[in-house]
Amino acid sequence: MVESKYDKIMRIAKNRGFIWPAFEIYGGAAGFYDLGPLGSSLKDKILKKWRQFYIVKEGCLELDSPNILPEKVLEASGHVDHFSDVMIECSMCGATYEVTDLVKEVTGEDVEGKGKEEIKEIIEEKRINCPECGGPLGDIHDFITMFRTAIGPEEDRVAYLRPETAQTIFVNFSRLQRLARRQLPFGVAQIGRGYRNEISPRKGIIRLREFLMAEVEVFHDPENPTHPKFERVKGEKLRLWTAENQNNGLEDYIEIKVEDALNQGIIINELLSYHLAYAKMFLLSLGIPENVIRLREQVVGERAHYSEETWDLEVYTEDFGWVEVAGFAYRTDYDLSRHSEFSNTDLTVYYQEEGEDDGRKILPHVVEPSYGIDRTLYCVLEHSYTETEEKEYFKFDRELAPIEAYIFPLITDDGLPEKSREVLEALKDKGIFAKYDSSGSIGRRYARADEIGVPYCITIDHQTVEDSTVTIRDRDSTEQVRTEINDLPQKIRKLLCKEIEFEEAGSTF
Ligand SMILES: [Zn+2]
């Protein structure tokens, strides 16, 4: 059997410690995965980049809130009423299915957003039966996809694991707005776990029940939905698959400059268009190539209850097709007005623009970039995965490599292991994530390091003992340079930060 790309990636991912199904010794639980040592490191590097983009450069305030939310918060947000999937149960064997997934699997038809009656008719018309046992399917009903729990020993307060990190940002709006010195627009970011009790997740790490999110809520004046740095992105090209083209059955995206998409009314406002372009730049910074990135507008019926316009940032994958890695919703003032109402707290603000004589009372609107970090991580794995005649390996962007350097003694004798450990410690002292490996031939060791995407391998040989120099090998070109041990930590650091190119790291020999 031919191994699919996903299978190839997951084979290395499991063997080498990137990612594997959780609770394996108890038979596993669908929709839950562990990140191993390399996966954890890769995740941290993706988040570091994300923080650089959104906290440092965009200046968003960061918030870190509880994962458990009292029911009232989610009643206000509309999730108790709307965060549900449509499910159907087999009357014979009791297997449960998410209806839109089931219909798509059996007929290829996309019924997302259609009413229950309509879907029921399609199921009867196409004579869809239980894929497990062939039995007849029962009625269609809604299933709340939040994990329900309770607070306190008496369990007298219903609560849920949060379906998104956004809600505590809205709940804390007044405090955050003061911290932002009452200026608009301002963004608040939160990185944390989100939960969705999927009815029957069957897409590996693409459909998770617990996932890591990185979200931003950008509060702005609805009369002035602009971004101060729009000039910087207005010439960027975006590939947009509009709702209109989807409704007309056009299976294609248009390529258009940000400013043109805005002027032609394809994207609802400047702030949203800025963030769509910015998000594409973020994916490019992770080494995901431009030709596998597109933005798909959600069609009516597909959008979340709070959104007036939503774009999905999608990355093409071989096994799952286009995968949504982030969503960009124009949430209007929906959340702030609902929380005002449910908490009896007035969340309107008195807003005075710089240079304006009078202020106004407004309820800010929200544009929300929301990333799924696990899916992003998978897309980084897939688009780093490289096969040549000699090897298969993850060609990570060097800023993302989970392990930054490997130290090899050429042989395990003549004091080379001791010298290697000295070099290892010197690198670690400078904060470089380096590891030591002395087992097997040097070729084997290079191959093992390449497989997991280590950008630089440092070899300690007999010349090292004589003149305190070592070789650095570049993963992609396999070329080597020789450099002084004293300069090594600084050279590796500069290479990893892309301050120098490989040829500048030492002399060729
Ligand atoms: Zn059945």
Predicted local distance difference test score (pLDDT) of residue 305: 86
Distance 99 CA to ligand 1 centre (A): 14
Q: Would you say 357 and 26 are in contact if contact means Cβ atoms under 8 Å apart?
A: no
What protein residues have CB closer than 5 angstroms to ion ligand 1?
90, 92-93, 95, 130, 132-133, 135
Q: Which of 188, 190, 166 lies closest to 177 in space, CA to CA?
A: 188
pLDDT of amino acid 200: 85
Residue 306: the pLDDT is 86
CA 384 to centroid of ligand 1, rounded, Å = 40
Closest to 433 in 3D by CA, of 454, 410, 404, 471: 404
CA of 133 to the centre of ligand 1 (A): 4
Q: Cα(291)–Cα(322) distance, rounded to whole angstroms?
A: 12
**Backbone phi, psi, residue 472, to 5°:** -115, 130
Rg (CA), the chain: 26
Look at the block and give the residue holding tokens 């549900």: 84
pLDDT value, residue 105: 87
- Predicted local distance difference test score (pLDDT) of residue 202: 79
Q: Cα of 198 to ligand 1 centre, how many Å? A: 19
* Separation between Cα atoms, residue 121 and residue 70, nearest integer Å: 38
Alpha helices by DSSP H, 294-356: 334-343
CA of 298 to the centre of ligand 1 (A): 32
Tokens 């973020």, located at residue = 282
Determine the distance separating the centroid of ligand 1 and the alpha carbon of 223, expressed in angstroms: 54
- Rounded Cα–Cα distance for residues 288 and 212 (Å): 19
Q: Distance from the CA of 145 to the center of ligand 1, in angstroms? A: 22
H helix intervals, 172-212 = 173-179
**327 in the Ramachandran plot: left (φ > 0), alpha (ψ -120 to 50) or beta?**
beta
In the prediction, which pLDDT does 423 show? 97
Ligand 1 centroid to Cα of residue 130, in Å, is 5
Which residue stretches of the chain have pLDDT < 50?
none
Asked if residues 123 and 97 have their Cβ atoms less than 8 Å apart, the reply is: no
Cα 123 to ligand 1 centre (Å): 15
What spacing in Å lies between the alpha carbon of 33 and ligand 1's midpoint? 27
Instruction: Note whether 485 and 459 are within 8 A (CB).
Output: no
281: closest CA among 62, 453, 57?
Answer: 57
**CA dist., res. 213 & res. 326, Å (int):** 9
Q: Is the Cβ–Cβ distance between 219 and 366 less than 8 Å? A: yes
If you measure from the C-alpha of residue 139 to the centroid of ligand 1, how many angstroms do you get, rounded to a whole number? 13
Distance 21 CA to ligand 1 centre (A): 26
Whether the Cβ atoms of residue 353 and residue 193 lie closer than 8 Å to each other: no
CA dist., res. 194 & res. 66, Å (int):
11
The secondary structure of 243-269, three-state, reads HHHHHCCCCCCEEEEHHHHHHCCCCCC
Residue 117: per-residue pLDDT: 87
Cα separation, 226 vs 456, in Å, equals 44
Using the mean position of ligand 1's atoms as its centre, give its distance from the Cα of residue 470 in Å.
Answer: 64
CA of 142 to the centre of ligand 1 (A): 19
Q: What are the tokens at 100?
A: 């839109």
d(CA 411, CA 34): 36
Contacts for 226 with CB less than 8 Å, ≥ 6 apart: 185, 220, 270, 271
- Cα–ligand 1 centroid distance for 115 (angstroms): 24
User: Count of CB atoms within 10 A of residue 101's CB?
Assistant: 21
pLDDT in the model for residue 65 = 98
Amino acid code (one letter) for 174: S
Paired tokens of 450: 């390449």
| Euclidean distance between CA atoms 238 and 361, whole angstroms | 36
Distance 137 CA to ligand 1 centre (A): 8
State the amino acid at position 89 in one-letter form. Answer: E
Rounded CA separation 16/433 (Å): 17
